[in-house]
Amino acid sequence: MLSPLPGLIVSTTTRARLPSHALYRPALGVVVQGAKQVLAGRRILDYRAGQGLVTGLAMPASGRVLTASRARPFMGVSIELDTSLLQQVLAGLDPAPSPLVAAAGLSVHTLPPPLLDCVARIVEAAQIDAAGGVLVPTLLRELGYWLLTGPTGPDVAAMARPEGTLQRIADAVVHLRRHFRQPLQVDALAAASHMSVSLFYRRFRAATGMSPLQFQKQLRLLEARRLLETRSVNVTAAALAVGYESLSQFSREYQRSFGHSARHSLQGSASAPD
């Protein structure tokens, strides 16, 4: 895995991999060769060479490589998307694409050749020390154009509309990320999003693939895993630090989410080389 510039990741592997849990950020993920799968809540998305995953807001998800070999390694590129840049590009389009009212936070698209070419040029420019800082900003603006005018347009436009439903859900996600240790107050989130509670639930699930409570649990578990793997705390302290009051409930949900116990994460970090 290489990161020649902040927000740009080029990854390769010669073998399929188990799911890797992380907090996904707004980005375009492109498969150059092979195949990948992403799971968010109950939503499962597969995408292959020539296809891309648009992530419209920060959310817990897990991804795994499905197809890879020594003869044909998996190759992928991830480029973080700047909402403010997309808004600038969108403002210059006439006509502008209509955003999806209930846009999903994750969507898969077959990408047109001009967009794929732009991604390739971003990767090439990023690897040239003298050129990356000059060329990449212009290329990212071009990428925004192709994203907004191609098959990804309605989903990406939903990201770029500050008054749109997806952005209101994104604002709720920001609140959840800042306050995930505290008891969940869906009424307050719905009111801040200018929605009824029932509509907020529907829109939140449409965007993230999970309920607000499930989303909060994933945030808590990801932070607990980070604490355990960095050897900051023991299992009990990790559970309390992220807002759990019941150690048994924490242990069950950790096992269900990551496929192994919290103690295993702690032991694995302790056995890792310094």
In DSSP notation, 132-163 reads HHHHHHHHHHHHHHHHHHSTTHHHHHHHH-TT
130 vs 59: CA distance, rounded Å: 34
Residue ranges in the chain modelled with pLDDT below 70: 101-102, 269-274
Class of domain 214-271: mainly alpha
First to last CA, the chain: 21
pLDDT value, residue 98: 84
pLDDT value, residue 273: 40
pLDDT value, residue 103: 75
pLDDT value, residue 272: 44
For the chain, counts of helices (H) and of strands (E): 11, 10
This prediction has a pTM of 0.89
118 vs 148: CA distance, rounded Å: 14
Radius of gyration of the chain (CA): 20
* 3-class state of residue 158 by DSSP: helix
Class of domain 2-160: mainly beta
Domain boundaries, the chain: 2-160, 214-271
